[in-house]
Amino acid sequence: MLLHRSTWPEIEQFLQRSRSIVIPIGSNEQHGPIGLLGTDWMCPEIIANEAQKEADILIGPTFNIGMAQHHLGFAGTISLRPSTFMAAIGDWVRSLAGHGFEKILFLNGHGGNIASIEAAFSELYAEASFAGRPAGFALKLCNWWDLEGVGALANQQFPTGHGMHATPSEIAVTQWAYSDSIKSADYHPQIAPSGPIREALDFRARFPDGRMGSDPAQATPEKGGALVRLAAQSLVKELGAFSRETSPR
């Protein structure tokens, strides 16, 4: 079930049977010469949408702009400051909790978001702690590549040249979902260099075509489909376990 394609009475009905929701979250940033700019928000959205076809779960609108300042040296990247990003997450959570959602799982597609998402969670919990009251909700961050079995499958599919950014696994997921947007390029070197991540001009100088340790040429729609199906099954399990958690109070 998709929240943005539902009516408010339908959401009220859903809340009678479940108080859980999944929010795909990612980033709009460069992904090398062939990776779509939306890759990091498209991957969790693709997986979440596939999961809701097979299970009675609710998927919220995709939070598609994240913390990507280090990619701003490449055309098309859009980034929020960490403080802006955290404030927006806070308002999303407060809105959903106000309607009665108690378990909110953020399915993340961008490594650069992790620290800020966790900090936003800490701020939200702190509001309750300093007020001496229960929060009334629980938050969970889950990176799609960390879902059960996904990393092992990606390692099997891409034993070399997987890398850290513009990876063949994430490119393959988008190729499966958007076969009319598949691109190709010649790579020199075939596997990109690796290194630290700092500010935008430093990143562009270190990684001139945008890749980090990766060889996206290995991606295929078939490999992407296998990753999506496994990730969707694992997401349903992860959300189920989270939803069954009980408070000791």
| High-pLDDT (> 90) share of the chain, % | 98
Q: Which residue has the tokens 């376990």?
A: 241
Whether the pLDDT of residue 141 is over 80: the answer is yes
pLDDT at 238 over 90: yes
The rounded distance, in Å, linking the Cα atoms of 64 and 86 is: 14
Across the chain, mean pLDDT equals 97
* pLDDT tens per residue, range 19-72: 999 999 999 999 999 999 999 999 999 999 999 999 999 999 999 999 999 999
248: pLDDT confidence band, cut at 50, 70 and 90?
A: confident
Is domain 3-244 classified as CATH 3.40.190.10?
Answer: no
Q: Is the pLDDT of residue 247 over 90?
A: no
| Closest listed residue to residue 77, CA positions, set 48, 106, 41 | 41
According to DSSP H, which parts of 55-99 are helical?
Answer: 82-99
pLDDT of residue 210: 97
Please state the domain extents for the chain.
3-244
For position 249, what pLDDT does the model report? 65
Which residues fall within 8 angstroms of residue 15, CB to CB, at 6 or more apart? 99, 100, 101
111 class by beta-carbon count within 10 Å (0-12 exposed, 13-18 middle, 19+ buried): middle
Summarised one tens digit per residue, pLDDT across range 149-190 is: 999 999 999 999 999 999 999 999 999 999 999 999 999 999
- Average pLDDT, integer, range 199-208: 96
Angle at CA of residue 142, ends 209 and 122, nearest 5°: 105
Average pLDDT over residues 111-124: 98
pLDDT at 246: 86
33: cis peptide before it, omega within 30°?
Answer: no
Exposed, middle or buried, 18 (CB in 10 Å: 0-12/13-18/19+)?
Answer: middle
The backbone region for 76, taken as left when phi is positive above 0, alpha when psi lies in -120 to 50, beta otherwise, is left
Instruction: Give the H or E element holding residue 106.
Output: strand 103-108
Report field, pTM of the whole predicted structure over 0.95: yes
Cα-based angle 119, 125, 130 (whole degrees, multiple of 5): 120
pLDDT at residue 65, as a whole number: 98
Burial of 144: CB neighbours in 10 Å, binned 0-12, 13-18, 19+:
buried
Order of strands across the sheet that contains 103-108: 20-25, 103-108, 138-143
